[in-house]
Structure 1
Amino acid sequence: MTTASPAASELPDLDLEAIRETARANAQALLRTPVAPLHGPTIERLLGRADVHMKLELFQRTGTFKARGALNVARRLSSEQKARGITAMSAGNHAVAAAFAAREAGVSAKIVVQASANPARVAMARAYGAELLIAPDGATGFAMAEALVRDEGRTFIHPFEGEGTSLGTATVGLEFAEQVPGLDTVLVAVGGGGLGSGVATAIRKLMPGCRVIGIEPEGADVMRRSFEAGSPQRMEKLSTIADSLAPPMTTPMAYGLCRRHMERIVTVSDDEICRAMAVMFRDAKLAVEPAGATALAALLGPLREELRGQRTGLIVCGANLDAETYARQLARGEQLLEA
């Protein structure tokens, strides 16, 4: 049975001054990532002379936006919580971010990582000083993290849920609005909604006339299903190359902020993501993971005609991928471009 959508006033929200304070508090440990126009012969062939601006979060500390939320949560820990350390559960990128955040906050980190996690991300998390525990699957991994909270008193840093996380990712939107005022539409990749919740909130508060559209992989469209149902949902089967956009569920705050501030969710196929990766490599000289190309995939695919002539912003959210996997996905994208 479909749950009725809550009224806008019932959904969670973030205060703009709290977003600004978060940016100030974390400024020394994080980077104000650059913005660059996307131009080149391939883009012109596909879109014409489009006015597209990329927010380059792949250059953030740890290689993705996730450092912003994880650090903001770690920074807020009490002295007692810091003494006991943190834990997290991740398929890769969040493990790296949580390890970095723990190091910056001066606390210990014992993090559970799925066995399927990309080896490059596992190596990065270890390099930041975290102790890693390997779980055979996500459900077992969350149970292991819960045991660390119960038995060792560690604080769990969630990959996408919570005010601290959304305030951290909202600083991406804050910076983008300051760097490129007057955007018509911002496209942002959505997994659990940690990034989208913050970006959409900041963009809509600072540029009320700008639309924010969330982009999900077709095979992991749990946020789209949540929008349709009017409440957080769960998926039993996920299938996408964008593994960092494939959580099995949405959660109340991340869903609520996305629902309040995003216009809608649009889905893209793995082929469209690979094609976008190839375009980014050709024209922007950027080697991004699939999640980092997902926003562009929507601009080149399902939103191509709708956004023609608009000033469009893309959040390029990350680039943590091993060379072998990247080469395989890039080759797939190049073949699709030439087809």
Structure 2
Amino acid sequence: MANPQDISLTQIRSRHRDLSTSILRTPSVELVSPSLQRTLDHARLYLKLEAFQHTGTFKARGALSVMQSLTSEERRHGVTAASAGNHAIAVAWAARQQGVNAKVVMQSTANPFRIRQARDEGAEVVLMPPGAATFSEAERLVREEGLSFIHPFEGMNTTLGTAGVGLEVMEDVHELDAVVVAVGGGGLISGVAAAVKLVNPKCAVYGVEPLGADAVSRGLAASGPVSLDRTDTIADSLAPPMSLPFSLSLIAHYVDDVVTVSDDEICAALVVMQEQARLAVEPAAAAALAGALGPLRARLAGKRVALVVCGSNIDAASHRVLCERGQTFAEGLLREAA
């Protein structure tokens, strides 16, 4: 298990500087929406727009952070990854930045848009059935071809990379009361929460996890990592089939609460994000807003709140279908507050 004391603000700032020549400092902007302000009892919402990061998600930070930690021998042999999409794209991008060959394993059910993105970044893509088979193939590539495995969410270097998101939002938006972050395996929230709490221990950090992929919530309840027999959510980039010790221990230490939301709530948040923020994002990036409008609403009322908008890798047709699903629920949410 990770020792939270192993991560310091000095380390986070140092890694942020190391990555700054390649990683974008994404904007933190206030979302001015009378209807949302009514819904949240005049809360002020700020969006940390990691959807504008290289590769379209925060994943570029962690992937590059890990890539830069490899030895010259490891770089020579190349890297691999297991992913539903966003992590594979980020590893492919980071490998190209570092002049390293990448062979990434992606779920055969991954959105074709994301598969094309990974290939466009220069990676060789291997398609496998979702779940354990994807990770097993990556493990085979490590064992038989000598590739280095870039984990999608677990490990100190990943957490130090994603901590830059929290560091930037705390520098850009003063006197925040809360930061809300989507939760998959925990690679994003572990870094964000560590940075936020080390800068201001009084600022709350809340995680939002899909109800159909709640490995972190279950792990926290069990006081240890768990594996899921299956996952079922439209937010496929938030659906690893397990929680793991490093990220889970940091979440337990730094995160105030992790709540779950349904796919219908996520679809509704996609609509609200489109109509109120004028942003077309993927389901994972709407999860934080879904949490704010749902289970976290009372706790965020009247507060200064940052939402991490974590990614934008979705094709137009899929986005349209999900928004149609969420339209009625979204109208009900905002009408209820009118």
Do the aligned residues in 2 keep the contact of 1:110 with 1:131 (CA within 8 Å)?
yes
- The Cα RMSD (Å) is 1.4
Give, in angstroms, the shift of residue 11 of structure 1.
5.1
Does residue 175 (structure 1) correspond to residue 168 (structure 2)? The answer is: yes
Write the distance in 1 (CA, Å) between the matches of 2:163 and 2:4. Answer: 17
Partner of 2:48, secondary structure, is strand
Cα deviation code 1:149-175 (max 9, x no counterpart): 111111000000011100000010010
Letter in 2 for 1:35: S
Write the distance in 1 (CA, Å) between the matches of 2:255 and 2:53. Answer: 24
Give, in angstroms, the shift of residue 42 of structure 1.
3.5
Letter in 2 for 1:88: A
Partner of 2:240, secondary structure, is coil
Give, in angstroms, the shift of residue 138 of structure 1.
2.2
Give, in angstroms, the shift of residue 17 of structure 1.
1.0
Match of 1:197 in 2: 190
Give, in angstroms, the shift of residue 48 of structure 1.
4.4
**Residue among 226, 250, 259 paired with 2:252:** 259
* TM superposition score normalised by structure 1: 0.95
Write the distance in 2 (CA, Å) between the matches of 1:223 and 1:314. Answer: 19
Of residues 186-195 and 231-240 in structure 1, the stretch that sits farther from structure 2 once superposed is 231-240
Match of 2:326 in 1: 333
Give, in angstroms, the shift of residue 215 of structure 1.
0.7
Match of 2:181 in 1: 188
Give, in angstroms, the shift of residue 295 of structure 1.
0.7
Give, in angstroms, the shift of residue 10 of structure 1.
5.1
Partner of 1:124, secondary structure, is helix
Cα deviation code 1:25-78 (max 9, x no counterpart): 111111000011112243245334321111000000000000000001111111
Does residue 106 (structure 1) correspond to residue 99 (structure 2)? The answer is: yes
Unaligned runs of 5+ residues in structure 2 are: 333-338
Match of 2:336 in 1: none
Letter in 2 for 1:222: A
**Residue among 18, 30, 35 paired with 1:37:** 30
Give, in angstroms, the shift of residue 337 of structure 1.
2.3
Write the distance in 1 (CA, Å) between the matches of 2:255 and 2:6. Answer: 12
Give, in angstroms, the shift of residue 127 of structure 1.
0.5
Give, in angstroms, the shift of residue 131 of structure 1.
0.3
Cα deviation code 1:295-328 (max 9, x no counterpart): 1111111111221111111111001011111000
Counterparts of residues 1-339 of structure 1 (less than 5 Å): 13-339=6-332
Partner of 1:98, secondary structure, is helix
Give the number of equivalent residue pairs: 332
1:261 to 1:86, Cα distance in 2 relative to 1, 3 A: same
1:12 to 1:205, Cα distance in 2 relative to 1, 3 A: closer
Write the distance in 2 (CA, Å) between the matches of 1:337 and 1:149. Answer: 45
Letter in 1 for 2:184: G
* TM superposition score normalised by structure 2: 0.95
Do the aligned residues in 1 keep the contact of 2:8 with 2:198 (CA within 8 Å)?
no
Do the aligned residues in 2 keep the contact of 1:12 with 1:256 (CA within 8 Å)?
no
Identity of matched residues, % = 52
Unaligned runs of 5+ residues in structure 1 are: 1-5
Letter in 2 for 1:72: S
